[in-house]
Amino acid sequence: IVPSTLVHKPESKIKYSNAAIAVVGYTLEVLYQTPYVKYMQKHILEKIGMSNSAFAPNRKISSKLAKATMWSYDDRIFPAPTFELGMIPAGSLYAPVTDLAKFMMMIFSNGMGPKESVIQSGTLLEMISPQFGGDRTSGYGIGFGLSNHGGFQKIGHGGAVYGFSTQLYAIPEIKYGVATASSVDVTNSITRKLSNYALDLMLAKKNNESLPDYINTSEIDVELAQSLEGHYTRGELYADIEIRGSNTVLITNYLEVPLRQSIKGIISDGRINQGSFRIEKAESNLLVNGKKFTRKVKTEKTKIPSDWKGLMGEYGWNHNVLFVYEDMGSLWLLMEWIEKDKLKQVKGDLFAFPNNSGMYHGEELKFKRNAAGVATEVAIINGPIFKRRDVGASTSETFRIEPIKPIDELRETALNANPPKENQNFKQTDLIELKEIDLSIKYDIRYASTNNFMSNKFYTLPEAYMQRPAAEALGRAHRKLKDKGYGLLIHDAYRPWYVTKMFWDATPEDKKIFVANPQNGSRHNRGCAVDLTLYDLKTGKVIEMVGGYDEFTGRSFPNYYGGTTQQRWHRKLLRDVMESEGFNIYEFEWWHFDYKDWKEYPIGNTKFENL
């Protein structure tokens, strides 16, 4: 803070600021010559009786701390970090909901704890009174949001830290309150919804009324979802609706959220947003909360400055990755896993955040490049510095691992092992070579060469086989793509079981989501899975995707945020056409598709030369 420069004149702008709260907390430290954590424990928590709470973890708290999870738009789920985030005094209170209930009881007692006063009643009243405009049921007090609930003043405060989301609501007039905690990251929309529903139940009980039903949702009808799918715009705003497997997803300038059917119509229903978006069809257009968005054809390719490519990529830490990507001709950030920010180029490598949205609205950030023109870091002015992350390979390079065992040892073990026994009446295996379907299907069979993630040869022949129905469906997908100027290039199809075992035994534990467990067998072993990409019919060149084939990184996820408009357009084209012919995409690999009948075929272990 000390070397920072003033961004806005005092009292000219309201903004969420952890730094501001930290200043207030550290001012207390200086005034009372007592560490903030110790001061709060003695003068607040102990007086309220919050005996299971603290602003810093101790042995008792650590032993009871819930295991929290993080998530992202590209469907990754991973454990939340447990280290101290350095945010005290701006949050970081460790507390169970039973202790938060004691906090609300203190409020309902006009600042009195079980034995003594915690805060003067006049001070408490000021905290729940409007401070910057508004009235007692709108705006903000000090530390509390003010709103109306059932004709009463409702005060509340929500919180979020990596992996956790909380909401506290209280109605002081009738002494009703709710505290809700979630051990899933950025689920405040859900904790708010549950808290409000709990208040509704209590008020209904108080008034001797029937209890209100909770709003449940269901999947949108397939035909309706298909009629909604598309790209819509309203000025600079856009609303894309995509179908991803059985999910229908709304993608806007600011967020991405699943859509589901409810008694209120089609509404948003996801971790990040509960019911704030209502979608209606208006002939060929779309109504989002009653506002018209016009259907447009989404651009396949946009013109961007050539030097922006050196800025795109990942920055930051495992728990907080900053994604820089291009979309519709602009440079964008995805930060804190869920916030999307459209950047405006100020000059050179200096860019500005949006003026009125996001955590850093109205601020700027600057990239720093190396001699090759590739950015090595990006710094938010007066804020954190994010260093470029090494993802392990470029899109034009082959991703490689160091096998945890020697190849010869892996091969010998796998060849001497047997596939798992299956007690099921399977269809008769009927593998056919894909060239028999269409000679214009191209091959780059990586495992018949050393150009693969293990740098070793596994097949004696550069061929590709699939069960006949799957192969015929693949041929139909290829013909659909030919009408659009593209063709399919095959990397792998049927794979003998022993090769799957070699892959599994060679791959480090943290990369095993990209290889199949031989105990279950792979869908490749059943002749119903295919690894592929697109090529340009005119030039014969392979189409560049966001990530490379067999790349064991997050860039391989089918919904990964990154790259360019064109790369993501091609990735979606491949998925849409394959899914239209009965294939399903593997959740961690954009190139891997399973045919719908894969469960009906047995695990195969026959080598190519013996087929």
Whether omega before 89 lies within 30 degrees of 0, making that bond cis, reads yes
Q: How far apart are CA 429 and CA 199, in angstroms?
A: 59
Phi, psi (rounded to 5 degrees) for 336 = 50, 30
> Which of 331, 357, 387 is the last residue in one of the domains?
387
β-bridge partners, 242: 249
CATH number of the domain encompassing residue 440: 3.30.1380.10
What is residue 383's predicted lDDT score, i.e. its pLDDT? 85
pLDDT computed for residue 132 by the predictor: 82
pLDDT higher at 194 or 301: 194
Whether 328 and 417 share a structural domain: no
User: In the listed set 296, 317, 337, which residue is the last one of a domain according to the structure?
Assistant: 296
What is the reported pLDDT for 356?
87
Residues 339, 425, single domain; the answer is: no
Contact between 399 and 553 under an 8 Å Cβ cutoff? The reply is yes
Question: Residue 585: is its pLDDT beyond 80?
Answer: yes
Query: Quick one: DSSP state of residue 290?
Result: T
For 497-519, write each residue's pLDDT tens digit.
999 999 999 999 999 999 999 99
User: Domain of 109?
Assistant: 18-206
* Residue 4 belongs to some domain of the structure: no
Burial of 120 (0-12, 13-18, 19+ CB in 10 A): exposed
What pLDDT, on a 0 to 100 scale, did the predictor assign at position 234?
97
3-state helix, strand, coil in the chain (%, to 5): 25, 30, 45
In a domain, 6, yes or no: no
Q: What are the tens digits of pLDDT across the range 389-416?
A: 998 777 778 999 999 999 999 999 999 9
How many CA atoms does the CB half-sphere of 268 hold within 13 Å? 22
**Alpha carbon distance 309, 325 (integer Å):** 9
Rounded Cα–Cα distance for residues 565 and 425 (Å): 46
Rounded average pLDDT over 338-343? 96
Report the candidate in 549, 251, 288 with the shortest Cα–Cα distance to residue 396: 549
DSSP state of 577: H
pLDDT at residue 543 is higher than 80: yes
Same domain, 33 and 143: yes
**Of 421, 306, 285, the residue nearest 373 (C-alpha):** 306
**Do 147 and 243 lie in a common domain?**
no
What is the mean predicted confidence (pLDDT) over 563-588? 96
**pLDDT tens per residue across span 544-568:** 999 999 999 999 999 999 999 999 9
In the chain, the percentage of residues whose pLDDT exceeds 90 is 86
Domains held by the chain: number: 4
Residue 333 lies in a domain: yes
Looking at residue 397, what is its pLDDT? 84
Calculate the dihedral angle through the C-alpha atoms of 71, 76, 77, 80, rounding to the nearest 10 degrees: -60
Q: Which residues pair with 243 in a beta bridge?
A: 248
Tens digit of pLDDT for each residue in 442-481? 999 999 999 999 999 999 999 999 999 999 999 999 999 9
CA distance 236 to 158: 30
Q: Are 170 and 191 in contact (CB under 8 A)?
A: no
Asked whether residue 450 falls in the same domain as residue 557, the answer is yes
- Residue-level pLDDT at 91: 78
Question: Do 22 and 166 reside in the same domain of the chain?
Answer: yes
Amino acid at site 464:
A
Mean pLDDT computed over every residue of the chain: 94
- Measured N-to-C along each axis, helices 468-482 and 565-580 cross at an angle, to the nearest 10 degrees, of 130
Same domain, 459 and 538: yes
Q: Is the dihedral of CA 589, 595, 599, 602 positive or negative?
A: negative
Phi/psi at 252 (nearest 5 deg)? -120, -175
Together in a domain, 331 and 287: no
Q: pLDDT of 145-188, one tens digit each?
A: 999 999 999 999 998 999 999 999 999 999 999 999 999 999 99
- In the chain, the percentage of residues whose pLDDT exceeds 70 is 100
CA distances 432 to 435, 487, 591, 593, Å, are 9, 19, 21, 17
Is there a domain that residue 476 lies in? yes
Task: Report yes or no on 229 lying in a domain.
Answer: yes
CA-CA distance, 430 to 377, in Å (whole number)? 53
d(CA 486, CA 478): 8
The CATH number of the domain holding residue 107 is 3.40.710.10
Same domain, 558 and 439: yes
Q: What is the domain-level CATH number for residue 340?
A: 2.40.128.50
* pTM of the model as a whole: 0.92
Neighbours of 587 (CB within 10 A): 15
What pLDDT, on the 0 to 100 scale, is given for residue 115?
Answer: 95
**pLDDT over 90 (residue 430):** yes
Note the pLDDT of residue 121. 96
Q: What is the CA radius of gyration of the chain?
A: 28
CA-CA-CA-CA torsion sign (439, 576, 271, 235): positive
In a domain, 177, yes or no: yes
Instruction: Please indicate, yes or no, whether residues 166 and 62 belong to a single structural domain of this protein.
Output: yes
Q: What is the pLDDT of residues 27-36, one digit of tens each?
A: 999 999 999 9
* CB-CB neighbours of 283 under 10 Å: 6
Mean pLDDT of the 191-214 span: 97
Quick check: is 393 in a domain? no
pLDDT in tens, 88-120: 888 789 999 999 999 999 999 999 999 999 999
pLDDT at 7 over 80: no
Classify residue 5: in a domain, yes or no: no
Same domain, 31 and 82: yes
Domain boundary among the residues 177, 206, 235 is at 206
The reported pLDDT for the residue numbered 375 is: 97
- Please tell me whether residues 588 and 530 are part of one structural domain: yes
pLDDT at 87: 74
